[in-house]
Structures are given as C-alpha cells and as structure tokens.
Amino acid sequence: MIDGGMLKSEIKALVFDQYGTIVDMQGGLTAAVGDFLEGKGWDGEAHRFVTWWRRTHFENSMIDALSEGPHTPYREIGQQAVAYVMDRCGFSYTSEEVRWLVSEIERLKPFPDVIAALHRLKDSHVLAILSNGDVDMLEAAKPHIGFPFDHVISVQAAGYFKPHKATYKKAVEILDLAPENILFVANHAFDCIGAKSCGIRTAFIDRRKRHFGHTPHQPDLIVKDFKELADVLC
C-alpha cells in the first residue's frame, strides 16, 4: 500500500461507488422488503432474500458486460434478477411488485459515517460517483443521499457495467485528470480491482472485515470506514 502522505499530496479527485459504498444497500433493502416477504409467506431471514437478489443481479450484469450487443439498463437487470429469485422462492407476484422492489434502490440512505466525511473531503478534492445505476435512478437517489457531488457518472456513458475497463476510463475522461491523481473508493474488491487495472489508485472500504484477496491489483489504501478515509486524506 502507498504511504498516506503521498496519497494526500497527489490525489485531486475521489470517485466513489454508490451502491454498497455510499449507501447501505444490504441493510436498506433488507428493511424495505421485510413486510413484503412476510406477506408472501417467506419463512427465512429477509437479508438472505436480498443477498440472493443482489448476487443474481451481479451475475446478470457481468454477463451483459461480456456479451455482444447494447448495454442493458440497470433497472432492467434488477427486475430480471428479483423476478428470478421470486420464481425460485415459489412466490406469485405482479410486475408492479417487481418494479417497486427495484425502485427501493433509489431510496437507499448513506452509511452513518459517510456524509460528515464527505464534507471534510470536499474542501480539498473533487468528489464524484461512478455507479452501475441508470442516469435516472442516480438522479432520483440524490435527495435521499443529501450531498452535492461534483459529478454523478452512470456507466451508461460507457455502455458497460463495472468492472469493465471502459467504465473507469470514461470517468477519467470526464474528470480530465491523470489516473494517478484519482482515488477510486469502493466497498467491493471487484470494483477496486477494475479501477486499479486502469492505473487508478484505489481505497478499499473494509466494512465487513474481509480479506481483499490474492490479486496483483491490491488497493493503495484499506480503511474501515469513511471517517478513517477522511482522516488519512485530510
């Protein structure tokens, strides 16, 4: 990992993943679907349904990014994923219920440590989001996050889901900075690996206390939360 002082002097912009890094996707969706699942007769824990949904969504988005053809919107991938999981659970459901479940992603709230840290970071850095979410979904999420980022970039601009290299290169192009002057911040190892493979420095938010993995694309910084990130960079 790179020295924190060097990062502090060289990083001009921070680019954040949104789902699971800025906003609490697992916790927020688990809270949102509890009553719905109970009404469907689900006798398991709500977070397990959400994990299944999110894993299916991730798998389908990776297939889309690797396949020939136009980029499929995040919302559509999400609706396919949640419908598949409900099929596997044996639920009867409507298309309106599928749309409602996916729309809950737009109302997710930030982790408790995020906003205060962003306010500390904004005075000395350009702050941006690079998300797999669709443009309109990211726009709808803004009032629920409550922080004015300098840029909110959807992968729709590149036509691929992260961690395709085109997504990170598009962010570099939009920010008009050298990759080494950008720090990409994510709670997901795959996202940090994708950015690092493009020459962008990375910070791994290790909220779940999990080993990063044996990859040549190790993060430049590992912190437990956004407060620690701001402590290092401010």
Terminal Cα distance for the chain, rounded = 18
Residue 220's closest CA among 186, 183, 168, 189?
183
DSSP state of 41: T
CA angle, residues 131, 143, 126, in degrees to nearest 5 = 55
- Catalytic residue, from 3, 17, 35, 113: name it: 17
Active site residue 24: no
Contacts of 37 (CB under 8 A, 6+ apart): 44, 46, 49
Distance between CA atoms of residues 153 and 104, nearest Å: 20
| CB burial string 25-61: b at 16+ within 10 A, e below | bbebbbbbbbebbeebebeeebeebbebbbebbbebb
Which helix (H) or strand (E) segment is 221 a member of? strand 221-223
Q: Which residues are catalytic?
A: 17
